[in-house]
Copies of this chain bind each other. A is one copy, B any other.
């Protein structure tokens, strides 16, 4: 059985004001070619297809194009789960109708107990989709299938849910889990949303699965030899500079033994962090850097140079941000922003994006607008 495993496409994402949709389409073109070349039995997308619950129309259109190519043109089966960035209801719309066509989009726990079963020459592999859900949804599910439990912490609830899945294992079947969560020992980057109260799972929770296809962390990585983050489609933060992004081609043999191949993506633009003297970097383009790449500058000078951004922009049209050396956290640590053109709310959004490494979501934005309203009212009074 061969699985092409990817995740964290974050379609619609912006980074420091740069729309990445064209970059995403560029790499997804490679992904569909991989799907054609490697002939997987199943394509697995382990969550965070979109960057926000309410993605812009153009990112839905891109997703639609990719799905049409994979399912209709290449006749591939695709299994998708929703991640913490996705809206479970949007991902799950018409899912019962879509399954017949080869596309299984899972946004809730309704597929626990009825995994997708595919056959190869060695027998059956059961694919168990476990989308990202809040603690309450797990508790509600467990209350229904195993009433009388006490509410427990997220990790314990997840453990009970995995036990429940395991109890449905059939003899001689191999089992694959598809989930969107954080595992202890895995290395995060700046661009995953804090999972906060949902906690971090211990890898031991996943015993007995032949393969665990994970999404959530953006660095492609294996935990042991059966648990893997395929990693994100692109470098979505400064901390991901230098990371080779890839899809994972997973082969499971008749005994359940797993082989994993990382199939590298070539981004439309590289992302670099360049450290050195402002005056040096302004004059001398470092080796291996294309001036069209996305660049973060870390300058050794501690006194900000006026109009540095204007000079740099001429040579590096896509540079994202610059920072000056600092002795303590100060205002020079703020992102490069065109303050005079921005409203207070935009300034705050920009600051948030800079400090959190992610965009503000819809709910947060609502709170923000309300807060600024109140502020401006109290200032007027």
Most buried by B among A54, A87, A370: A54
- The yes or no answer to A22 lying at the interface (CB within 8 A) is no
Given contacts A57-B53, A87-B57, contact A103 B97 (CB under 8 A): yes
Shortest distance between the CB of A231 and any CB in chain B (Å): 26
- The yes or no answer to A203 lying at the interface (CB within 8 A) is no
From A59-67, A174-182, A257-265, A329-337, give the one contacting chain B. Answer: A59-67
Shortest distance between the CB of A166 and any CB in chain B (Å): 29
- In the complex, chain B residues whose CB is within 8 Å of the CB of A97: 67-68, 71-72, 98, 101-103
Q: How far is the CA of A101 from the CA of B102 in the complex (A)?
A: 11
Whether B89 and A60, one on each chain, are in contact in the complex, defined by CB atoms closer than 8 angstroms, is yes
Q: How far is the CA of A379 from the CA of B377 in the complex (A)?
A: 11
Most buried by B among A61, A97, A343, A346: A97
Q: How far is the CA of A376 from the CA of B344 in the complex (A)?
A: 10
Kindly state the interface size class of chain A when it binds its partner: 35 or more
- The yes or no answer to A305 lying at the interface (CB within 8 A) is no
Whether A90 and B344, one on each chain, are in contact in the complex, defined by CB atoms closer than 8 angstroms, is no
Q: How far is the CA of A252 from the CA of B224 in the complex (A)?
A: 65
Q: How far is the CA of A89 from the CA of B60 in the complex (A)?
A: 7
In the complex, which residue of chain B has the Cβ closest to the Cβ of A375?
B376
- The yes or no answer to A283 lying at the interface (CB within 8 A) is no
Q: How far is the CA of A25 from the CA of B100 in the complex (A)?
A: 27
- The yes or no answer to A117 lying at the interface (CB within 8 A) is no
Whether B369 and A94, one on each chain, are in contact in the complex, defined by CB atoms closer than 8 angstroms, is no
Q: How far is the CA of A80 from the CA of B230 in the complex (A)?
A: 37
In the complex, which residue of chain B has the Cβ closest to the Cβ of A100?
B101
List A334-381 residues whose CB lies under 8 Å from chain B: 343-346, 369-370, 372-374, 376-377, 379-380
- In the complex, chain B residues whose CB is within 8 Å of the CB of A87: 57, 60
- In the complex, chain B residues whose CB is within 8 Å of the CB of A58: 89
Query: CB < 8 Å: which of B98, B100, B343 contacts A370?
Result: B343
Query: CB < 8 Å: which of B57, B89, B96, B102 contacts A89?
Result: B57
Q: How far is the CA of A252 from the CA of B294 in the complex (A)?
A: 61
- The yes or no answer to A93 lying at the interface (CB within 8 A) is yes
Q: How far is the CA of A49 from the CA of B68 in the complex (A)?
A: 24
- In the complex, chain B residues whose CB is within 8 Å of the CB of A71: 97
In the complex, which residue of chain B has the Cβ closest to the Cβ of A343?
B373
- The yes or no answer to A159 lying at the interface (CB within 8 A) is no
Whether B101 and A89, one on each chain, are in contact in the complex, defined by CB atoms closer than 8 angstroms, is no
- In the complex, chain B residues whose CB is within 8 Å of the CB of A155: none
Whether A90 and B343, one on each chain, are in contact in the complex, defined by CB atoms closer than 8 angstroms, is no
7 A/B residue pairs, CB under 8 Å, sorted by A:
A57-B88, A60-B87, A98-B101, A343-B373, A372-B373, A372-B376, A376-B376
> Which 7 pairs across A and B sit closest by C-beta, in order of nearness?
A343-B373, A376-B376, A97-B101, A57-B89, A54-B54, A60-B89, A61-B89
